[in-house]
Amino acid sequence: MSTKAKTTSQKSVLLDIDGMKCGGCVLSVEKILLSQPIIEKASVNLVARTAWIQLTNAEQSIDPVLIALADRGFPSKLRSAASHKNTSQSNVNATSQWWRQWRELVIAIFLLLLSVLGHLVEGGKFALPILGTLTFHAGLATFSLLGPGFSILKNGAKAAIASAPSMDTLIGLGVSSAYLASLVALIWPQVGWPCFFNEPVMLLGFVLLGRFLEERARFRTGHAIKELAELQPQTARLVVAPNEIREVRVGSLRPGEKLQLLAGDRIPVDGIVIEGNSAVDISSLTGEPLPLEASPGTELVSGSLNLEANLVLEVKRVGAETALARIIGLVEEAQARKAPIQGLADRVAGRFCYGVVGLSVATFLFWWQLGTRFWPEVLYASGQGLLTGHQHGLHAPLGSNAETPLGLAIQLAIAVLVVACPCALGLATPTVITVASGKAARQGWLFRGGDVIEMAASLKQIVFDKTGTLTLGRPLVVGYAGTNNQEQILKIAASLEENSRHPLAHAILQEAQRKNLNLITATNTRTFPGKGLAGKLEGFDKIVRVGTPEWLKEEGIEHNFDLATTAFNGETIVAVAQGKELLGLILIDDKARTNVEIALEKLRKNGFSLHMLSGDRRHAVQKLGEKLGFDSDQLAWQLLPDQKLRKLKALKKNGPVAMVGDGINDAPALAASDLGIAIGTGTQIAQDSADLVLLGDRIESLPETFLLARKAMAKIKQNLFWAFGYNLIALPIAAGALLPSNGLLLSPPIAALLMALSSITVVLNALALRTT
């Protein structure tokens, strides 16, 4: 089925990709994606097994991309909003995957048990003759490779043929080499090394066990999206007639329909309350602990919980357009977009397999031709290595009692292949990003990607807008000036501002509604960002303007008093004019957000430099700045959007800058800053321009957001240190670096266990972020 119709309305999409096992796979997938002409950017997540791609032309089909991925061994499909809503199918898939993983675990334990029993029988611990025969061990090894190990061999071979060797390639080379070497030794004893059929069996057992534990740990990192998706109910109570309620699927609802919400119901769609009063719990989406008091006119979002009484809701947005679907989409995007710090790990992981194969060949050649000449005693010492075990008859652990240089060289070369772990490199960053973005989403903080988390951790400068950001954004009309007909100028201003979403427009409209004023029809309305509105009103011959006094003065508006010397108490001034005549001023005041002073003080203690840029008048900005502890040089007022941009650029000379804003006027500054932060109650355009969205009115959570970003970056650095350190230490030991001096080497089973533990350690360290 073509996916063209699904991508016509979106610039970026998310793909689910199978077949990725390590960082090398990630680099291969990214190369495939970026080679497609319709893809501008691509970012692949090994943990979530997804790819976020940005399209150059949203009208084109992505079918060629899916075909290209499938041809290289990475079958993929487009992620859609419906994938989260089909809970029953998701449960079936999860159950199937769960049983498959348990089956692999049982097989792994069974293989390990038989191998251990074989060693015990050979060592004379108890009598079970069949387990001590070479024929049995050869048969068990054959079963292991053709049974549970066949998918590893097949995937590794496909990756090698596609010039994109993966973790499976290294494991496949290791187990097949050990098997073939044992088979040769069994058929042709003169080669001089013992059979070690047990080792491929134990190696596969440890690999399967490690992958089970790693998969379970990785599954836990993705709980956040599943928990968010479960907030979406599957059915709703549709009001089809005054006394008739019918239960229907949520997917069949359409805007304009009415729903009945009982106490205890989850809200299935975004809508507006038209009947009833109740308390609504929105903490699962915004982290806000206090319930929202819902009454007629209150807008509710999907996923919220109705607590007290019945409500009737008019449907406004359904499906992918709802706030819940948008939040899930942002979390998915955040988990797919990688942090820049991951670039080095990906570059190393992408070439890692080539390097390991090269080291394995070099190890083989060295110990075959030179090593045993320099240290002839290693042919005996290799049998005494602390990590290898001891020989039992003709069947021995790999790396024991090699009687010839060729035998020792083969054994060490195989150990190098097995101990290498590119998985840890590939998992080091995405596991942390997945956990951090999921934890943030549960608190109502939406990062757009790992790059955003990394930037947030490095910032030292934050710029705030005033109205709607540091203040509640719900200002009230508190007075008038320059007029004797207050209701008339309020009516004119409200009529022109009727379709505006600016907080000051809301205050004017709210006051007009309180006074039951009938508004006048407006036509040809035009918005001047940062200045005001102009348009025509029915019954008025001349153009009406509503905006800042300075803008009206620029337009040549005459007035009968000096605005500069008029004394106010820091209120925001909205001037109303008809033609060239100033009709009067409306005074509007706003309150600072709850706990904003505490939040700003925490940020200052954490070393942030804070600034306030506003389009408001000087007195209003200085009054609020003084209250919130800003220095005079940290304030700027009466700024147009382009002036805000210039101020931001000047600040960026001192380092990266975050911009916290709300509203249309802030969109350019949010987009131009190094980190744009929008308050979740702001306009849609502001949120679209932002890198980080704080849902609700809780600006006091901003310090915790930056703290989480810093903790995440610390975890990433710990993981990268471990991943690089493990390989830098384990590979030389596996190559025999300690064999001459200490008689120490790694046998493949121990190497396989260490490889698995390396990946698991990285994932568990990331999961620790959930509890900090």
d(Cα 596, Cα 694) in Å, to the nearest integer? Answer: 14
| Phi and psi angles of residue 371, each rounded to the nearest 5 degrees, phi first | -55, -50
**Which CB contacts under 8 angstroms, 24+ apart, belong to 2-6?**
2/61, 2/63, 3/61, 3/62, 3/63, 3/66, 3/78, 4/59, 4/60, 4/61, 4/62, 4/63, 6/78, 6/80
Q: What is the DSSP string of 439-503?
A: HHHHTTEEE--HHHHHHHHH--EEEE-IIIIIB-S--EEEEEES-S-HHHHHHHHHHHTTT---H
User: Which residues neighbour 647 within 8 Å (Cβ) at sequence distance 6 or greater?
Assistant: 463, 613, 636, 639
In contact, 245 and 238? CB cutoff 8 Å: yes
Which single residue is written with the structure tokens 């097995």? 418
Cα–Cα distance, 23 to 21 (Å, whole number):
7
Per-position DSSP letters for 550-575, written without gaps between them: HHHHHTT-B-SS-GGG---SS-EEEE
Can you tell me the distance from the alpha carbon of 536 to that of 341, in angstroms, rounded to the nearest whole number? 55
Kindly name the residue from 270, 346, 451, 465 that is annotated as catalytic.
465
How far apart CA 230 and CA 442 sit, in angstroms, is 13
Q: Give the angle 298-302-303 at the CA atoms, nearest 5°.
A: 115
Tell me which residue has tokens 């757009």. Answer: 448
CB 18 within 8 A of CB 337: no
Q: Round to whole Å and give the CA distance between 256 and 263.
A: 22
In eight-state DSSP terms, residue 371 is I
Burial of 562 (0-12, 13-18, 19+ CB in 10 A): exposed
Nearest Cα neighbor of 445 from 277, 186, 675 is 675
The DSSP code for 667 is H
How many angstroms separate the CA atoms of 26 and 50, rounded? 10
Region label for 663, one of left (φ > 0), alpha (ψ between -120 and 50) or beta (otherwise): left
Q: How far apart are CA 527 and CA 725, in angstroms?
A: 59
Whole-angstrom CA distances from 572 to 435, 438, 477, 565 are 43, 40, 9, 15
Q: Is residue 465 annotated as a catalytic residue, yes or no?
A: yes
Catalytic annotation, residues: 465
